[in-house]
Structure 1
Amino acid sequence: MNSLALRGGAGVAFKPVHFDALLANPGRVDFIEVHAENYFGEGGLLHAQLAELRRHLPLSVHGVGLSLGGSERLDSQHLQRLKELCLRYEPALVSEHLAWSSHAGEYLGDLLPLAYNHVSLERVAGRVQHLQEYLGRQILIENPAAYLRLAESDMPEVEFIRQLCHRTGCGLLLDLNNLLVSCHNCGGDPSRYLAELPAEQVGEVHLAGHARVALPRGELLLDEHGSAVADATWSLYVEWLVLAGARPSLIEWDRQLPAWSVLAAEVDCARALQCNPYMPACGGGASA
């Protein structure tokens, strides 16, 4: 297995429909990423495909259901399955969301917001530290897409993240699409956010598309992962590269999947910008 640490390059969120294209030319991307929960079973076609691709490519495992921002104890079965998955495939990166998604034993099927205050910080830091100790590795925490700010919040999201990194030593998965969505919907300056982020803790970057919804009081951006990377996201990616340099960067496209050539072209854009962020911008997606 290729278990070299990822320090740059560009990859895709693996979907079985693209298995043949990836296997025919695995060097077309630098790594693949999968949602952890899709691989909690022990066998089947999904595992057979992932095992074959893992022979050629580094892997990032991205969790979506651990509910790190929740108020209850982390699910012991979920933790065990995640640990077994990591032991089985030796991923270069493992990440989870700064959000909650379950309560009273019920999975709610969404990534829900938490209040950014010292009470939440203590709780989330303890859960992140427990997760890292359980897996025996650093975890990357992803900034969420926000549609509202809770009244109980008394610190900016970026300050919450800074303190979380300081207390736990966790890394960050910087989702630039989420950052744009949150700043548009809730107010905020993406450039200032990047400047205040602990850049040295960022271990991966996500690039994705978003949708627009017209509302009586304005326009809402939705993090929907069903379209090309937005022009504004490419522009923010350039800003990040100039500020902090290359990180493993993922094209995240989870629904209304395009032809493989479309995904591969976006990988090429990310790679090219890592080599020269001053080149003409990639684009073709919607603008924020």
Structure 2
Amino acid sequence: MRFNAEPIVGAGIGLRANHYQTILENLPNVAWFEAITENYIGNKAVPLTYLIAIREHYPLTLHGVSMSIGSTDPLNQSYLEELKNLIEIIEPAWISDHLCWTSVGGRYVPELLPLPHHPTVIQHVVDRILYVQDFLKQRILLENVSRYLEFKDSQVTEWEFLAEIAKRADCDILLDVNNLYVNAYNHQFCPQKYMAALPKERVKQFHLAGHQDKNTHLLDTHDQVVSPAVWDCFAQAMAIFGEIPALIEWDTHIPSFTTLLSESQKVGAYYRLKAVTATFSA
């Protein structure tokens, strides 16, 4: 099966199984969907059938959670082969994963664990990204993850770490604005300084999501609407990187599709506001 190679533009929504029927029955006005890679590999025939059906109507991207690009475990070759096969089936606009580690000693954990910001780690991650991109025959996007502790061995900032890896591995960046804001609050750094330090041409997508305020810290939960502070940070990100595609994530306590669509439409409102502002500034 060959699909039309539509470009990814505007606001998307994270694809979840409990919304399959709603999407296929109503074909809502959504620019694109992001599918979690692991939901469609490993002989998962039923979800893959739905994914192919949705792909007939919408552009898709693939977003992975278990590539474990920062682990000291060998890269999971069977996972990469399954991913490559899925790419050939649905022809996503791009694929992404996280700048983190999720396995040790061959055992996977259901967490996106941060890495020490150290030159040795940078080289380790770069080598693994180069292998993955060579195997898949395409660039990947890597996402910044939320974190709650500092490694004593870190020698560079989080933004320097991400920027250097993207440049040296020739990969792109999925900037999670919620994760950025959570980390900035928890570790007391300036979000604008972080964003200004990233290579502009490599930031290809935004993520937006909700978090919880635990009084002593912010906790990245992806279980509620986007906070006003994160929307403000998103507006600043657009000012720096432009109107690149943005996605609303909602991973637990998943609401109705109508609620997700409403949140997604807020992204479009920010795009329109930026366009009007640019017109008056010209």
Q: Could you say what secondary structure the match of 2:13 adopts?
A: strand
Is the 1:2–1:54 Cα contact (8 Å) retained in structure 2? no
Is the 2:73–2:106 Cα contact (8 Å) retained in structure 1? no
1:97 corresponds to 2:98: yes
Q: Which moved more, 1:159-168 or 1:114-123?
A: 159-168
Q: Which moved more, 1:268-277 or 1:49-58?
A: 268-277
1:2 corresponds to 2:4: yes
Q: Write the distance in 1 (CA, Å) between the matches of 2:207 and 2:56.
A: 23
1:234-275 CA-to-partner distances (Å, cap 9, x unmatched) read 111111112221111110001111121111111111012112
From 265, 273, 276, the equivalent of 1:276 is 273
Q: Write the distance in 2 (CA, Å) between the matches of 1:55 and 1:163.
A: 37
Is the 1:34–1:61 Cα contact (8 Å) retained in structure 2? yes
Following superposition, the deviation at residue 200 of structure 1 comes to 1.2
In the other structure, the counterpart of 1:44 is 45
Is the 1:171–1:201 Cα contact (8 Å) retained in structure 2? yes
Q: Write the distance in 2 (CA, Å) between the matches of 1:27 and 1:18.
A: 11
In the other structure, the counterpart of 2:124 is 123
In the other structure, the counterpart of 1:258 is 255
In the other structure, the counterpart of 2:195 is 194
Q: Write the distance in 2 (CA, Å) between the matches of 1:14 and 1:236.
A: 24
Residues 1-288 of structure 1: pairs in structure 2 closer than 5 A = 1-6=3-8, 8-214=9-215, 219-277=216-274
Identity of aligned residues (%): 35
Q: Write the distance in 2 (CA, Å) between the matches of 1:73 and 1:261.
A: 42
Is the 1:2–1:56 Cα contact (8 Å) retained in structure 2? no
Is the 2:146–2:182 Cα contact (8 Å) retained in structure 1? yes
Q: Write the distance in 1 (CA, Å) between the matches of 2:44 and 2:194.
A: 42
Q: Write the distance in 2 (CA, Å) between the matches of 1:184 and 1:5.
A: 34
Is the 2:20–2:50 Cα contact (8 Å) retained in structure 1? yes
In the other structure, the counterpart of 1:283 is none
Q: Could you say what secondary structure the match of 1:276 adopts?
A: helix
Mind listing any 5+ residue stretches in structure 1 that lack a counterpart? Answer: 281-288
The normalised TM-score by structure 1 is 0.91
Paired residue type of 2:130: Q
Mind listing any 5+ residue stretches in structure 2 that lack a counterpart? Answer: 278-282
1:98-156 CA-to-partner distances (Å, cap 9, x unmatched) read 10010111112211111111100000000011111110001001011011111111001
Equivalent pairs, count:
275
Paired residue type of 1:32: F
Change (3 A) 1:189 1:278: farther
Q: Write the distance in 1 (CA, Å) between the matches of 2:45 and 2:6.
A: 27
Q: Could you say what secondary structure the match of 2:184 adopts?
A: helix
Q: Could you say what secondary structure the match of 2:33 adopts?
A: strand
Q: Write the distance in 1 (CA, Å) between the matches of 2:124 and 2:135.
A: 17
Is the 2:100–2:145 Cα contact (8 Å) retained in structure 1? yes
Is the 1:245–1:274 Cα contact (8 Å) retained in structure 2? no
Q: Write the distance in 1 (CA, Å) between the matches of 2:64 and 2:91.
A: 15
The normalised TM-score by structure 2 is 0.93
Q: Could you say what secondary structure the match of 1:28 adopts?
A: coil
Q: Write the distance in 2 (CA, Å) between the matches of 1:182 and 1:21.
A: 35
Following superposition, the deviation at residue 5 of structure 1 comes to 2.8
1:1-55 CA-to-partner distances (Å, cap 9, x unmatched) read 232232x311111112112222234351111111111111334321111111000
Q: Could you say what secondary structure the match of 2:254 adopts?
A: coil
Is the 1:2–1:57 Cα contact (8 Å) retained in structure 2? no
| Off by >6 Å, runs of 4+ in structure 1 | none
Q: Could you say what secondary structure the match of 1:64 adopts?
A: coil
Paired residue type of 2:48: H
Q: Could you say what secondary structure the match of 2:185 adopts?
A: helix
